[in-house]
Structure 1
């Protein structure tokens, strides 16, 4: 199979049939073998009814329905796990991503050998204050923090080599920083392609103002994950040893001063350096212990299910 197209969605009943028909036209005109994976992230409208109908009329349409809204990252994770294509394309369901971009994205992965091609919506039709400026800020911070030189980390339109999606773990709210996860997994051929952005045709965005705060928190998380997820002792242990050494150094100084230099001076407990040394050694010990426990957790980590699927469409077919 050439292409798996993964489409996470939440309450997008108006756009699904139009998006499906558009994708099918592109697939047929380019003679691709394909599957379309709709991941219904707990929709409360008629989205799943429409997906089921599309699956009956087109056996290349497959669907997963979450029992409730678990989030876009979990939807992508489920789609990655189910995908069978050699090249994986992800796109949003709101018709803001253009299916006409798919053939060129496929060629960049299949022919040119890239691991990941991320879409870059260079010209956007979103509100400047609510989306454009925050997106530019997040993308700038992500570039500086991760070292991945992309202009648009959060674009839903991306193309992946099959080995990439079967390797990375997308959890929490990390869909915003998938390119960083890909780099951290050891895949280095990452680039971007300018893609067309279209104004939302139906409904309204499902992401509120909380995405700004979540985005910054996720950026801190992704920085830690990319550098220390597999070796937490390197961060917490180093900080713990540093703090304990500083505190112990002050304790030695106070002891030498009291025993040999100024034995008749004030009590150790009357000197602020005593409490600084004590606190520094306690914090250092705690940080070292946190690193040690982190190492144990990393080595004993088991796969966890982060979502519950209630129904499926055409999932047992082999293409």
Structure 2
């Protein structure tokens, strides 16, 4: 199969018929063998009934319905599991992503050898104050933290080689940082394409201000797990040792000063309590590292590694 198109959605019954008709037209014009996986993330409108009706008319359109709203990351993860195409395309269901971009995205994967291609909505129709400025801040932090030079990490329109989506797990709010997940899984050839951003035609945006806070927290989680997920003691142990040593040296210095001066009082000096607190924090961090190491070593996937290929082995 040439293509799998994964479309996560929540309360998009108005846009679905037009979007699916557009996708079908593009697929037929290019002669692709394809499937479209519509993942209903617990919609409360008629989205599932629309998906079923579309599927009856064209068997290439398939549906997954969640019992409740789990979020875009969960919807993408289930869509990735169900996808069979050699190239997987993701797009939003709100008609702001254009299916006309699909052939070029596929070409970049197949002919130019990219593992993943992310869309860049260079010209946007969003409110500048509430969306554009926070998005630019997120993207700047993500670029500097990951070393991946993309302008728009959160663009819903992306293309993947099949092996990429089968090698990553998307959860929480991690859909914003799939390029980073792909990089940590060993996929280095990540490209970018300027894509059309269309004004919203139906409904309203489903994302609130919480996504800004969650986005930064998830970025921190990805960076930590990518570097220290299998060796947490190297992170917590180092911080704990440094903190304990700083507190210990400060305490020794204060004690020596006490013996050298009869007017010197330890308990009246804030630095003494700061030194003790620093030592306690250091010990706690060190113990946290031990506990995290025990958990990591007993995890079922502690020795699961992504292997690209083998030679001369059964």
TM-score, scaled to structure 1: 0.88
The change in CA–CA distance for 1:125 and 1:257 in structure 2 (over 3 A counts) is closer
**Offset of residue 257 of structure 1:** 4.9
Distance 2:261 2:95 in 1: 79
Secondary structure of 1:224's match?
A: helix
What is the CA deviation profile of residues 244-266 of structure 1, one whole-angstrom value per residue up to 9, with x for unaligned ones? 111222333345555xx538565
The change in CA–CA distance for 1:270 and 1:208 in structure 2 (over 3 A counts) is closer
Distance 2:276 2:47 in 1: 60
| Corresponding residue number in structure 2 for 1:114 | 114
**Offset of residue 177 of structure 1:** 1.1
**Offset of residue 224 of structure 1:** 2.6
| Corresponding residue number in structure 1 for 2:84 | 84
Structure 2 runs not aligned, ≥5 long = 302-314
Distance 2:298 2:22 in 1: 46
RCO higher in structure (CA 8 A, sep ≥6): 1
The change in CA–CA distance for 1:81 and 1:302 in structure 2 (over 3 A counts) is farther
| Corresponding residue number in structure 2 for 1:186 | 186
What is the CA deviation profile of residues 221-273 of structure 1, one whole-angstrom value per residue up to 9, with x for unaligned ones? 33333333333222211110001111222333345555xx5385656545544
| Corresponding residue number in structure 2 for 1:8 | 8
**Offset of residue 144 of structure 1:** 1.6
Structure 1 runs not aligned, ≥5 long = 304-319
**Offset of residue 283 of structure 1:** 0.5
Secondary structure of 2:143's match?
A: helix
Greater mean deviation of Cα atoms: 190-199 or 269-278? 269-278
| Corresponding residue number in structure 1 for 2:59 | 59
Distance 1:116 1:137 in 2: 23
| Corresponding residue number in structure 2 for 1:308 | none
**Offset of residue 130 of structure 1:** 2.2
CA contact (8 A) 2:41 2:68 kept: yes
| Corresponding residue number in structure 1 for 2:173 | 173
1:1-319 aligned at under 5 Å gives the runs 1-257=1-257, 262=260, 266=264, 268-301=266-299
Secondary structure of 1:196's match?
A: coil
Distance 1:299 1:88 in 2: 34
Secondary structure of 1:277's match?
A: helix
What is the CA deviation profile of residues 289-317 of structure 1, one whole-angstrom value per residue up to 9, with x for unaligned ones? 112222233333458xxxxxxxxxxxxxx
What is the CA deviation profile of residues 146-199 of structure 1, one whole-angstrom value per residue up to 9, with x for unaligned ones? 211000111000001111111111111111111111111111000100011111
Greater mean deviation of Cα atoms: 27-36 or 291-300? 291-300
**Offset of residue 9 of structure 1:** 0.1
What is the CA deviation profile of residues 80-132 of structure 1, one whole-angstrom value per residue up to 9, with x for unaligned ones? 11111111100000111111111111111122211110000011112222222
TM-score, scaled to structure 2: 0.90
> How many pairs were matched up?
301
The change in CA–CA distance for 1:164 and 1:139 in structure 2 (over 3 A counts) is same
